[in-house]
Amino acid sequence: MIDTTDLTRNQDLVFKALVDAAVPLSAYTILDRLRDSGLRAPLQVYRALNTLCEKGLVHRLESLNAFVACARPDCHRHETVAFAICDQCNQVSEFSDTEVEARLDAWVRGREFRAERTTIEIRGTCKGCAG
């Protein structure tokens, strides 16, 4: 279980904003929602987001330039996580697949490539929105 008690004030505000939203938010949207709480500049948000990403509490979605609270705060061990992102309702399903990880790992090891970060994002339409 990740420890969320040692977050600083700004980190806590940003994290709670993302948890409340339940969908990905851009840094500037987060800023807008936290102006009443005292945040005034983008950098305050970006700094908090960086720390939260490092802790595994938040994920960055590259294809959206947005951030989402980790769905599994009890399980930040999986380095590689995949996301299914609904372009209609913005909801994100987070999952991991050891076989996918293994195949990608096999490929990079075969080329002696040292992987640091892996992004897997599937954009589309969720069951509910496809009707």
Residues forming the site for DNA (CB under 7 A): 8-11, 26-29, 38-44, 46-48, 50-51, 65-66
Q: Answer yes or no whether residue 62 interacts with a second copy by CB under 8 A.
A: yes
Query: Which of 8, 37, 50, 119: binder of a second copy (CB under 8 A)?
Result: 119
In sequence order, the 6+-apart residues with CB closer than 8 A to the CB of 63 are 85, 121, 123
Q: Single out the residue of 39, 69, 34, 41 nearest to residue 55, CA to CA.
A: 69
CA contacts within 13 A on the Cβ side of 43: 0
Site residues (CB under 8 A) for a second copy? 62-63, 82, 84, 86-87, 93, 95, 97, 99-100, 103-104, 107-108, 111-127, 130
